Amino acid sequence: MSRRSFILYFLLPFLGIALVLLAVSSLDRAYIQGEARGLVLEQLRAAAQILISDISRFLEEGDPPDRILERYARDENIYYMALLDGAKSIVGWRSRFEGYLPLSLDDARRRDAWQISSPAGGIYNLFLPFDLADGRRFHLYLGYSLEGVENIARRSRRTLLLTAVALFSAGLLFARALFRLQKRYLAKAVEAEDHRREKERFREISALTSGVAHEIKNPLNSLSLLCELMKRSAPPGLEEEIRLGGEEIRRIAGIVDRFSQFVKPLHVERRPFPLLDSLTEAAGALAGEFPALTAFRPTVPSGLTVPGDRELLTGVWANILRNALEASGGLPVEVRAETRRRAVLVRFRDTGPGLPPEVAARVFDPFFTTKKSGMGIGLYLSKKVVEAHGGRIGMTSGPGRGTIFEVELPGG
């Protein structure tokens, strides 16, 4: 499944569901806050009636309004309160706002309860008339703190926000894990299919190669014996031609042997061996053909050993070195080894012209080569040997950038 399909079929539906849940939670939170304010208003009205009853008794007993209000000044939820006479003139008041009384008679004419905002938070205002037994009319103006309701609202918003963040984070983590799992599954499926096709192709090539090698070997043996006989009884002047014929027969036999090696199953003998010695041995085998290898100095950590088949892996180093030297015109090749996450990484870097992408993608294919004299099985065999050790081999190249071969082997 592509990234676009994953976003379309998994991520977007999840985000839609998350947004719906958040919208429902927000509406539910608004409803709860409204209901809470309604309950507070009802309780405030009930408390105000009790307060009016007490204040009426004190007024009838002749207590001054300021002294009456002083009795309730200690209530932390009452921000301010005032007594007004029948003409709505203030006869006494108390306020926690340092002498400021936010009284609006316009609001009082329209309604008996309203809410205002202040630096201390929301305040519910009540403006209630009441009559004494002697017929005098007064008004009680009361400002009541909504701090408790606002704390609930803030806690509700914080809970909603944390829930949204947790839900969104969990969804993203789940989506990312699902996408990576699905991507890994597809990669494994593609790798398994490629491996199956490669095995099938190798089986077909092996059958063909084995048959061809078998059919060629017998005539070659006969021709080789014939050349030996001709050498003994050849007339003067034909020795050189017979020798050249024998060399051609041996060259054909060598090609057949290489094909036989190509189809022969690998038997890996894992024994720890010094990596530096193996690289030096591979360079020594090519030193006669490439003089630049006389100064070969690979960079290898001291004492680094690799568990594996020394003979097979030395052949891998020699094959990669040969390709690198041929690509760079015999110039020195940089070889560097290092340990990485309980594995050994060996890197070969040449200074050649590099390979175009379409060629670089096929360098490990059997019988693919850009050389006039090559057979295209060296790198394929190297890949086969490295994978038999549980490792991997890769190459990066580009026109004008040279080529880098990397071999990663477990252990070290």
Which residue's structure tokens are 């507070």?
40
Residues 276, 397 within the same domain: yes
Q: Any idea what DSSP says for residue 324?
A: H
Longest dimension (CA), the chain: 161
Q: Tell whether 36 is covered by a domain.
A: yes
pLDDT tens-place string over residues 68-82: 888 877 777 788 888
Q: Tell whether 162 is covered by a domain.
A: no
* pLDDT score recorded for residue 106: 80
CB under 8 A, 24+ apart: contacts of 354-359: 354/397, 354/398, 354/399, 354/400, 354/401, 354/402, 354/403, 355/397, 355/398, 355/399, 355/403, 356/399, 357/398
Which residue's structure tokens are 């003409």?
87
Q: Which helix (H) or strand (E) holds 195?
A: helix 147-233
Is 81 in a helix, a strand, or coil?
A: strand
Q: Tell whether 227 is covered by a domain.
A: yes
Residues 37, 128 within the same domain: yes
Alpha carbon 236 to its chain's center:
78
Q: What is the pTM of this model?
A: 0.47
How many CA atoms lie less than 13 Å away from 118 in the CB half-sphere? 20
Low-confidence ranges of the chain (pLDDT < 70): 1-12, 14, 18, 22, 25-26, 28-29, 32-34, 36-37, 148-150, 152-153, 198-199, 201-215, 234, 255-265, 373-375, 412
d(CA 302, CA 249): 46
Q: How many domains, the chain?
A: 3
Nearest to 24 by CA among 169, 167, 174: 167
Q: Tell whether 308 is covered by a domain.
A: yes
Q: Which helix (H) or strand (E) holds 98?
A: none
Q: What is the DSSP code string of 253-319?
A: HHHHHHHHHHHSPP----EEEEHHHHHHHHHHHHTTT-GGGGG---B--TT-EEEE-HHHHHHHHHH
Residues 126, 257 within the same domain: no
Q: Which of 145, 170, 202 lies at the terminal end of a domain, its last residue?
A: 145
* pLDDT score recorded for residue 244: 77
* pLDDT score recorded for residue 308: 92
CA distances from 372 to 25, 206, 252, 295, 368 (A): 74, 23, 16, 28, 11
Q: Tell whether 183 is covered by a domain.
A: no
Q: Tell whether 160 is covered by a domain.
A: no
Q: Which residues have a Cβ under 8 Å from the Cβ of 3 and sit 6 or more positions away?
A: 179
* pLDDT score recorded for residue 137: 92
d(CA 30, CA 106): 29
Instruction: Tell me the residue range of the domain where 86 lies.
Output: 3-145
CATH code where residue 333 lies: 3.30.565.10
The tokens of 191 are what? 């790798």
Q: Which residues of 131-157 are buried (b: 16+ CB within 10 A; e: fewer)?
A: eeeeeeebbbbbbbbbeebeeebeebe
pLDDT tens-place string over residues 30-69: 776 667 667 777 877 888 888 889 889 988 888 898 888 8
Residues 207, 279 within the same domain: no
Is 99 buried (19+), middle (13-18) or exposed (0-12) by CB count in 10 A? exposed
Residues 41, 106 within the same domain: yes
Length, in residues, of the chain: 412
Q: Tell whether 175 is covered by a domain.
A: no
Residue 189: how many other CB atoms lie within 10 Å: 10
d(CA 304, CA 339): 9
Q: Which of 226, 242, 263 lies at the terminal end of a domain, its last residue?
A: 263
Nearest to 370 by CA among 349, 385, 355: 355
d(CA 264, CA 92): 111
The tokens of 137 are what? 């009319």
CA distances from 262 to 287, 310, 323 (A): 25, 18, 18
Is 110 buried (19+), middle (13-18) or exposed (0-12) by CB count in 10 A? exposed
Residues 286, 393 within the same domain: yes
Q: Tell whether 286 is covered by a domain.
A: yes
Residues 8, 48 within the same domain: yes
Q: What is the DSSP code string of 338-351?
A: EE-SSEEEEEEE--
Nearest to 40 by CA among 150, 118, 190, 191: 150
CB 276 within 8 A of CB 309: no
Residues 53, 99 within the same domain: yes
Which residue's structure tokens are 């009790």?
50
The tokens of 7 are what? 């976003």
The tokens of 301 are what? 């950590």
* pLDDT score recorded for residue 307: 92
Residues 19, 139 within the same domain: yes
Q: Which of 263, 282, 307 lies at the terminal end of a domain, its last residue?
A: 263
Residues 371, 277 within the same domain: yes
Residues 312, 388 within the same domain: yes
Residues 234, 279 within the same domain: no
Q: What is the DSSP code string of 354-392?
A: ---HHHHTTTTSTT--SSSS--S-HHHHHHHHHHHTT-E
